[in-house]
Structure 1
Amino acid sequence: MSRYVRDKLMTNTLQEQSNGESALMFWQKEITENSLYILDEPENSLSAANQRKLSKFIEESARFYNCQFILSTHSPFLLSLTDATIYDLDEVPAKTKKWHELESIQEYHKLFQEREHLFNKK
């Protein structure tokens, strides 16, 4: 965890949590109304479940607290945020795309398609 997060949240409760859980708790504590946040891969150290929680938290912060977010991410959970504008920086010049059109997401899709039989076991 960063020194800033450690200084802001250092409590006995925090010490019992993982790095990812501490990061999620940090965002939930520090977000304020009518603010702009620029986040570079905020999913780092977050489990899939916590990436979902962060995604929901960002959506709710934008909707209810009038916050704006600029994210650099590879996370399918964050890329699929409702009403997000996504710029594919792998394109020159950069182009807007739907989250499911991104090459990285297409790779996830292929992976799950190739192993679909594993998910359909009864």
Structure 2
Amino acid sequence: MKLNQDTQYIREVSLKKELISSYQEFPFNIPVIENFSELKLHPNVTYIIGENGMGKSTLLEGIAIALGFNPEGGTLNFNFSSYNSHSNLDQYLRIVKGINKAKDHFFFRAETFYNVATNIEDLDNEPSSGASVIDSFGGKSLHEQSHGESFFAAFTERFQGNGLYILDEPEAALSPLRQLSMLSRINELCNQGSQFVISTHSPIIMAYPNALIIQLNEEGMTEVSLEDTFHYTIMKQFFEDKDRLLHHLFQ
């Protein structure tokens, strides 16, 4: 692992508050936007964490769309829509970019990766003289693999280094062992000049050394250590005194 300021392809995210006329409607009424403070990103790995409903995925989606990604995920070249459900938050975000530009880009959304896989098959079924899109994912149909295998194929095959990777809950289909393997892959890619912005609930995924962890709550966003996250605390309590915790839960 090495800290490389040259890989900080995006440096910070701020909110164009002057354009917001009301905080009563979505997405401006979610906690992270109501109490938004300038988000400075780590040159290697930034985690955005918090309980459901705090706005992690909405914020990550807004950042990705503002950078030119398709709302459902994929590379900057993906342009499809299965269901138009994204917010217009991207229009209210100001992205400060670094001096250098990433050579590779990918927006990974666990909940819509099936749609990305379908679009890849659609593209490869069209007449073309170029290489198949699926070749960059390992050559095997993502629909012919388990969710976990297809997710991991993206991380190991498609991510090429010198890249900007925005990941929304990548652990969704990964076993604990695969999550550890993903940490190893993140490290490889960081050493190859990559930057990650990751939303996750997994204490394993958020354990990358020296990463920046931003925890969202009703009051806004706070920088925390792994050991101070709610996710880590709950898992630690569970495994250290499972019987006592279950006893209280079942009362």
Q: Residues 30 and 12 of structure 1: is their aligned pair in 2 closer, same or farther, counting only changes over 3 Å? A: closer
Counterpart for residue 175 of structure 2: 47
CA contact under 8 A between 1:34 and 1:66: conserved in structure 2?
yes
Which amino acid in the other structure matches residue 157 of structure 2? K
Displacement of 1:91 after TM fit? 5.8
Q: Tell me the distance in 1 between the aligned counterparts of 2:141 and 2:231.
A: 38
Counterpart for residue 67 of structure 1: 194
If asked which structure has higher relative contact order (CA below 8 Å, sep 6+), I would say 2
Displacement of 1:101 after TM fit? 0.6
User: Aligned pairs, how many?
Assistant: 114
Counterpart for residue 2 of structure 1: 114
Q: Does 1:30 align with 2:158?
A: yes
Could you tell me the percent identity over the aligned residues? 27
Counterpart for residue 239 of structure 2: 112
Which amino acid in the other structure matches residue 36 of structure 1? L
CA contact under 8 A between 2:215 and 2:221: conserved in structure 1?
yes
Q: What is the TM-score of this pair, normalised by structure 1?
A: 0.81
Counterpart for residue 81 of structure 1: 208
Q: What is the TM-score of this pair, normalised by structure 2?
A: 0.42
Displacement of 1:50 after TM fit? 0.7
| 3-state SS, counterpart of residue 223 of structure 2 | strand
Which amino acid in the other structure matches residue 153 of structure 2? M
Task: Note the alpha carbon deviations across 1:19-62, whole angstroms, 9 max, x for none.
Answer: 10221012111112221111100011111111111111012211
CA contact under 8 A between 2:179 and 2:205: conserved in structure 1?
yes
| 3-state SS, counterpart of residue 161 of structure 2 | coil
Q: Tell me the distance in 2 between the aligned counterparts of 1:40 and 1:14.
A: 20
Instruction: Say which one has the larger Rg.
Output: 2
Q: Tell me the distance in 2 between the aligned counterparts of 1:31 and 1:87.
A: 24
CA contact under 8 A between 1:59 and 1:82: conserved in structure 2?
no
Q: Does 1:11 align with 2:123?
A: no
Task: Note the alpha carbon deviations across 1:93-114, whole angstroms, 9 max, x for none.
Answer: 3111111110121000000110
More helix by share: 1
Unaligned runs of 5+ in 2: 1-112, 121-133, 244-251
Counterpart for residue 11 of structure 2: none
Q: Tell me the distance in 2 between the aligned counterparts of 1:91 and 1:12.
A: 42
